[in-house]
Amino acid sequence: MKKSFTVVLILFTLYSCKNKDAVNYFNAGVAKAREKTDVGDSTANEAARQAKYKAVLHDFDQAIEADNNYILAYENRAIVKRILGDYSGCIADAEKVASLEPDSANVFIFIARTKLEQLKDIKGAIAAYTQAIKINSNNPEYYAMRAMAEGQLNDYTSAINDYSHAIAICPPGSSKIKSFYRRRGDVKLDMNDKTGCLDLVKASSLGDADAQEMISLRCK
């Protein structure tokens, strides 16, 4: 499965690498990552893509060997490991970033999504979402992400609480709020709580097309 090298993880750091060798290795890896690998059929393309990212990984390894506190190198190596399917290594690098930059909520979101989507570690994902929320308790999407994971564990009460909090702190006019109502309604209906239909009606009134379809299916 293809992953975008540039958008999987976006972190901001005050750390500036002073080691020229580390910077040179890192820049070489980034340059390789940007190279196109379209060489013909899909099998050949995938082989070329794998070879490219293994070369990128080697450059990031060298950058970290030259400076073992180089946050950008750890961040991007985590992405490459995820692309190559080394999810445990990916999480280890992301956790290293978290230790070097403990106030970054984004890295915990990255850890949570990797645990949830690649490792199916729902409890581990919830723990990582909780860490992100501790750092930034004002982002409604973090609560909604945790709620989705809680729902997968059938922890409906926690999921409803998180969706309710996401709704409460969602900025006025945000397009996200309609999905929060829809998802909360869905969870309520999973609990046989018919007030979930009211949430679906609210979501539909805000323009959520999926909510209207769910009303037809679940609120007869």
Confidence at residue 14, expressed as pLDDT on a 0 to 100 scale: 40
The string over 133-166, giving b where at least 16 C-beta atoms fall within 10 Å of a residue's C-beta and e elsewhere, is bebeeebbebbbbbbbbbbeeebbebbbbbbebb
> Which pLDDT belongs to residue 200?
98
Q: Which pLDDT does position 137 carry in this prediction?
A: 98
User: In this predicted structure, what is the pLDDT of residue 17?
Assistant: 60
Would the pLDDT of 166 be above 90? yes
Out of 11-20, 39-48, 57-66, 193-202, which region has the weakest mean confidence (pLDDT)?
A: 11-20
pLDDT at 19: 83
* Average pLDDT rounded to a whole number, residues 54-65: 96
Residue 144 scores a pLDDT above 70: yes
CA distances from 11 to 77, 116, 135, 178 (A): 13, 20, 14, 28
Q: How confident is the model at residue 40 (pLDDT cuts 50, 70, 90)?
A: low
Q: What does pTM read for this prediction?
A: 0.86
Confidence of residue 39 (pLDDT cuts 50, 70, 90): low
What was the pLDDT predicted at 45? Answer: 84
What is the overall mean pLDDT for the chain? Answer: 91
Say if residue 3's pLDDT is above 70: no
Predicted pLDDT of residue 18:
63
DSSP assignment of the chain equals: ----TTTS-----------HHHHHHHHHHHHHHTS----SSHHHHHHHHHHHHHHHHHHHHHHHHH-TT-HHHHHHHHHHHHHTT-HHHHHHHHHHHHHH-TT-HHHHHHHHHHHHHTS--HHHHHHHHHHHHHH-TT-HHHHHHHHHHHHHTT-HHHHHHHHHHHHHHSPTT-TTHHHHHHHHHHHHHHTT-TTHHHHHHHHHHTT-HHHHHHHHHH--
Q: Which domains does the chain have, with CATH numbers?
A: 1-136 (1.25.40.10), 140-220 (1.25.40.10)
Name every residue whose Cβ is closer than 8 Å to that of residue 185 and which is 6 or more positions away in sequence.
196, 197, 198, 199, 200, 202, 203, 211, 214
Average pLDDT estimate for 171-193: 97
Give 37's pLDDT tier (boundaries 50, 70, 90): confident
Residue 157: per-residue pLDDT = 98
121-140: average pLDDT:
98
Of the listed ranges 36-45, 77-86, 139-148, the least confidently predicted one is: 36-45
